[in-house]
């Protein structure tokens, strides 16, 4: 496993982060105790130290995660929690939600905490309600180490949020496709200019990158016939400045181990392979615009 080399914060932070939304479940939708334990043991064995707990995570899943993590010393792992800005109506509600999360996880504090889904629609309420001030206070009390946000919308909107408050990091939907086909590169450069690091989420674009149109896959095979789509997608990040970690949601232990093996490599993509990725992203965009199912 490779660890944080961004120059920001904890050096033991694994470059691979795992979202807990796909912890193994029983037929009733509740977490499977034995399978979850094996899954998390596999993650630790692979060198993973960062676990992301979505705001929508069930109470039972949070408690199970907390029980498993409690078997480790607290300085051996990092927790990233989150709250949905679109559903937090008041400062009091936000603080209550946070305290319930922390109580269920029994972790004492969050290393990273994300205010998710800021948008033009939710932003005015967020500012008016004083939710940022709540989390800033919790940070001062030692319940959060680093506060970040995620957003939906244009780079211009993201930059306005970035400038409004003092942020420690940003959780950014980021992959080789939207780098070429959206303005995420503009926001990335704004982060670099301001000196704010980021957690990369959605490296596989909701799974679509892993099962691209055949024409896209053919382009990448010409660039490197031995690379899987997972390898193309994850290696693309290796030379991105300010990267804290890449957040994934492996479905099983095999995927955890596969992603960890890929990220353990120190080789970045050379200019030739980056060229093929750029062409593939452009072709991907054409296929989407034409309505091809991906």
Range of the domain at 248: 16-212+225-268
Contacts of residues 2-8 at CB distance under 8 Å and 24 or more positions apart, as own/partner, are 2/263, 2/264, 2/266, 3/47, 3/49, 4/244, 4/245, 6/197, 6/241, 6/242, 6/243, 6/244, 8/169, 8/197, 8/242, 8/244
CB 3 within 8 A of CB 17: no
- Residue 256 inside a domain? The answer is yes
Paired sense of beta strands 78-84 and 169-173, if any = unpaired
Average pLDDT on 238-244 reads: 94
Q: Which of 105, 74, 103, 72 is nearest to 10 (CA)?
A: 74
Residue 241 is assigned to a structural domain of this protein: yes
Work out the percent of the chain whose per-residue pLDDT is above 90. Answer: 65
What is the maximum alpha-carbon separation in the chain? 55
> How many other C-beta atoms lie within 10 A of the C-beta of residue 201?
21
Q: Is the pLDDT of residue 82 over 60?
A: yes
Among the residue ranges 14-18, 31-35, 246-250, the one predicted with the least confidence is: 31-35
Specify if 259 maps to a domain: yes
164 pLDDT more than 60: yes
Q: Is residue 280 part of a domain?
A: no
In a domain, 244, yes or no: yes
Tell me, what's the pLDDT at 291? Answer: 45
Chain segment 27-64, per-residue pLDDT in tens? 887 778 888 888 888 999 999 999 999 888 888 888 88
CATH number of the structural domain spanning residue 126: 3.20.20.100
The more confident residue out of 23 and 237 is 237
Q: Please report the pLDDT score of residue 293 as a whole number.
A: 40
pLDDT band at 288 (very low <50, low <70, confident <90, very high): low
Q: Which residue has the tokens 């450069």?
A: 189
Locate the DSSP E strands across the chain.
16-19, 50-52, 78-84, 110-118, 144-151, 169-173, 198-201, 243-248
Tell whether 85 is covered by a domain. Answer: yes
Looking at the 3D structure of the chain, how many domains does it have? 1
Residue 152's Cα: distance from chain center in Å? 14
- Nearest Cα residue to 167 out of 158, 157, 175, 176: 158
- SS3 for 71? coil
In a domain, 239, yes or no: yes
Q: What rounded mean pLDDT belongs to the chain?
A: 90
Contact 189, 155 (CB under 8 A): no
Is the per-residue pLDDT at 258 higher than 80?
yes
**Cα-based torsion angle of the residue sequence 87, 89, 92, 98 in order, rounded to the nearest 10 degrees:** 10
Q: Is residue 174 part of a domain?
A: yes
Phi, psi of 225 (to 5 degrees): -65, -20
Say if CB 213 and CB 292 are below 8 A apart.
yes
CB-count burial class (<10 Å; 0-12, 13-18, 19+) for 280: buried
């Amino acid at each position: 496993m490779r660890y944080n080399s961004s120059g920001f914060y904890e050096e033991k932070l694994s470059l691979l982060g795992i979202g807990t939304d796909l912890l193994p479940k029983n037929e009733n939708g509740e977490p499977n105790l034995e399978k979850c334990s094996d899954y998390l043991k596999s993650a630790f064995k692979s060198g993973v130290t960062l676990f992301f707990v979505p705001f929508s995570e069930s109470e039972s899943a949070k408690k199970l995660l907390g029980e498993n993590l409690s078997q480790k010393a607290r300085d051996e792992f990092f927790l990233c929690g989150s709250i949905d800005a679109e559903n937090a109506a008041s400062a009091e509600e936000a603080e209550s939600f946070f305290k319930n999360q922390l109580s269920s996880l029994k972790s004492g504090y969050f290393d990273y905490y994300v205010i998710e889904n800021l948008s033009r629609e939710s932003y005015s309420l967020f500012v008016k309600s004083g939710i940022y001030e709540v989390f800033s206070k919790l940070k001062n009390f030692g319940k959060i180490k680093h506060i970040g946000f995620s957003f939906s919308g244009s780079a211009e909107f993201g930059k306005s949020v970035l400038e409004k408050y003092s942020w420690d990091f940003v959780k950014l939907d980021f992959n080789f496709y939207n780098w070429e086909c959206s303005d995420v590169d503009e926001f990335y450069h704004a982060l670099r200019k301001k000196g704010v690091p980021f957690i990369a989420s959605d490296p596989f674009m909701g799974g679509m990158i892993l099962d691209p149109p055949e024409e896209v896959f053919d382009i990448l095979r010409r660039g490197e016939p031995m690379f899987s789509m997972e390898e193309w997608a994850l290696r693309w990040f290796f030379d991105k400045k300010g990267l804290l970690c890449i957040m994934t949601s492996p479905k099983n232990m095999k995927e955890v181990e596969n992603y960890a093996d890929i990220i353990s490599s120190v080789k970045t993509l050379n200019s030739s392979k980056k060229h093929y990725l750029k062409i593939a992203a452009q072709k991907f965009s054409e296929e989407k615009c034409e309505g091809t199912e991906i």
